[in-house]
Structure 1
């Protein structure tokens, strides 16, 4: 259980922060940038949820929880030492990726195939989900960049890759099952 009785600690005043294993690193390190962007994605998703209801809101709530799992995973380097840890180390697992894939397939079977690129927008929920999609892609790029420097859980990278696809399909669903998608018209304003 987490207990936060004091919010500021002053330990980061010199530009460093502690990772999940206690190691101190620069706040601009690749690892902190990756999980910080996952946190940004979670906040962006919170805005999207203001426009969601029912099963869509429940799915977004599950994803928000997964994003905390993902942040916990990314803030813990040294995967080979997981067994030695005093506390259980939380890692993303393939089942979380599988769930996203199943949900994408279930939503996508209700949509007509795209014959044009679509512009982000339409309904308020769709616009927010497109924003989530782009932040998710950035988080994925930063996590892949981190993986070129240090070991990263493969399931974490796969989760982010599927998640941006999930947001894309969910954004289409939020536009009346794709009927209200805003289509790109190449060269329309020349």
Structure 2
């Protein structure tokens, strides 16, 4: 593979615009750039979650399955970023969504039905899974905002939606496999 970036800074963005892969220049706060940025943030947060899982895996080998499912998600998010930067480019497939759905079904069967609302926390690892889940929702909202202006393929939107579901169920699975109880939400007392 050749060099992707021969020079890191170009100075072409100093005036508040950036270039898309198709040569167009848009404002750095354009909805397309916002969507790309939120997908990038999700990928970065997911990288932190994966690093935490790797650290814990020696003590908790059952976390390996989560790594097997989540590591490819970073690559698919990079693909989605490519689709956003190059609207004619299509990388994500329905089969990518099916992989997530199969893992969700498998993991959800193990953790059982949700009877109460749960709060993010219990451990740094669990909290990071929830940070990723909420970041997936933010990325999805930014992509939906872009979609309202410039229609996107539904595959990327569905992928983000399913990924947030996967991360929610994944957080519950991490807790179960590490024997960390869920923190149940307690409503404020009525006065």
Secondary structure of residue in 1 paired with 2:92: coil
Match of 2:83 among 48, 73, 92: 73
- Structure with bigger helix share is 2
Secondary structure of residue in 1 paired with 2:103: helix
1:6-17 aligned at under 5 Å gives the runs 6-17=7-18
Partners in 1 of 2:73 and 2:29 — Cα distance? 26
The number of aligned residues is: 180
Per the alignment, residue 42 of structure 1 pairs with 43
Partners in 2 of 1:59 and 1:148 — Cα distance? 31
Does residue 124 of structure 1 match 2:124?
yes
Over residues 18-41 of structure 1, what are the superposed CA-to-partner deviations in whole Å (9 max), with x where a residue is unaligned? 112121111100001001100001
Q: Please tell me the root mean square deviation across aligned C-alpha atoms, in Å.
A: 1.8
Taking a change above 3 Å as real, the CA distance of residues 49 and 149 of structure 1, as seen in their structure-2 partners, is: same
Over residues 125-150 of structure 1, what are the superposed CA-to-partner deviations in whole Å (9 max), with x where a residue is unaligned? 21101000001001101111111100
Contact 2:111-2:176 at 8 Å conserved across structures: no
Per the alignment, residue 60 of structure 1 pairs with 70
1:1-190 aligned at under 5 Å gives the runs 1=1, 3=3, 4-53=5-54, 54-77=64-87, 82=88, 89-177=89-177, 180-187=181-188
Secondary structure of residue in 1 paired with 2:29: coil
Q: Which moved more, 1:6-15 or 1:28-37?
A: 6-15
Q: CA deviation at 1:188?
A: 5.5
Give the unaligned 5+ runs of structure 1: 83-88
TM-score, normalized by length of structure 1? 0.88
Taking a change above 3 Å as real, the CA distance of residues 38 and 179 of structure 1, as seen in their structure-2 partners, is: same
Per the alignment, residue 85 of structure 1 pairs with none
